[in-house]
Amino acid sequence: MHRQVIAWFDTHARDLPWRRADAGPWGVMVSEFMLQQTPVNRVLPVYEQWLARWPRPADLAKEAPGEAVRAWGRLGYPRRALRLHGAAVAITERHGGDVPTKHAQLLALPGIGEYTAAAVASFAYGQRHAVLDTNVRRVFARAVMGVRYPPNATTAAERRLARELLPEQESTAARWAAASMELGALVCTAKSEECGRCPIAAQCAWLGAGKPEHEGPPRRGQTYAGTDRQVRGKLLAVLREAVAPVPQAVLDQVWDEPVQRGRALDGLVADGLVEPMEGGLYRLPMT
């Protein structure tokens, strides 16, 4: 499959700023943090503003972590901003401000798991690693395993399969990682797959089996309206816009239900996203 998928990628890959040579390893790392559970069209403007303000890890490391949360805007899952800030501090302190090249060094950075370490090593440095995001897992599930969806959580069997499918040549493996991810994002999508456009349709086990329906656990869609996540987002939006600490009374206005509002605010404090102060004031974290 390597040749067909990479040839397709050479023709159809989107021109994204983190794929350009001038993005550098830091640009790749920033994009990987931002793209987790967030679509490209929402990431693009925030990514460009972020890199314009903090073109190197040391630039971000000098700022208070609350500034990273503020600049994160409405991308969602704002703990990613704190983790990216923590990674920038560690890169500055441990690696002289340069994103490390070794997978083990990347994995040792705060806030970086197996996927992000493999993605940065592969996309920034052209190394040979299995990069398993949701899109890649879906492509492998259909093309190789013959099922519509992968398991809800990544399994050891999926990791073994991904390693088995890796091309031997390092540069080809890195290209394969990006190409298989793009195929899942643009063609082999979750709900509206376009098999007529797929470069490996003739080899796809799922298509060959007649596209059987999913037989595993129900696919749970994410809800937002009325959840603690929505309340947290509203509270953070007030704090991001504020130039001074915000009184409790102002935060009380964002949500009518006091128990849920209090729970959401407590959660933000526990996660380090909000800093309580004396006198019932709150601000984004400074330390």
Query: Would you please indicate which residues are annotated as catalytic (active-site) residues?
Result: 32
How far apart CA 120 and CA 129 sit, in angstroms, is 10
The DSSP symbol for 130 reads: -
Q: How many CB atoms lie within 10 A of CB 38?
A: 16
Q: What token pair was written down for 100?
A: 């490390």
- Please say whether the beta carbons of 275 and 286 come within 8 A: yes
User: Distance between the two ends of the chain, CA-based, in angstroms?
Assistant: 49
Answer positive or negative: Cα dihedral of 85, 89, 90, 92: positive
Amino acid at 93: E
- Please tell me whether residue 165 adopts helix, strand or coil conformation: helix
Residue from 91, 188, 85 nearest 136 by CA: 188
In the block, tokens 């595993």 appear at 216
User: Cα dist. 215→6, 141, 145 in Å?
Assistant: 31, 13, 13
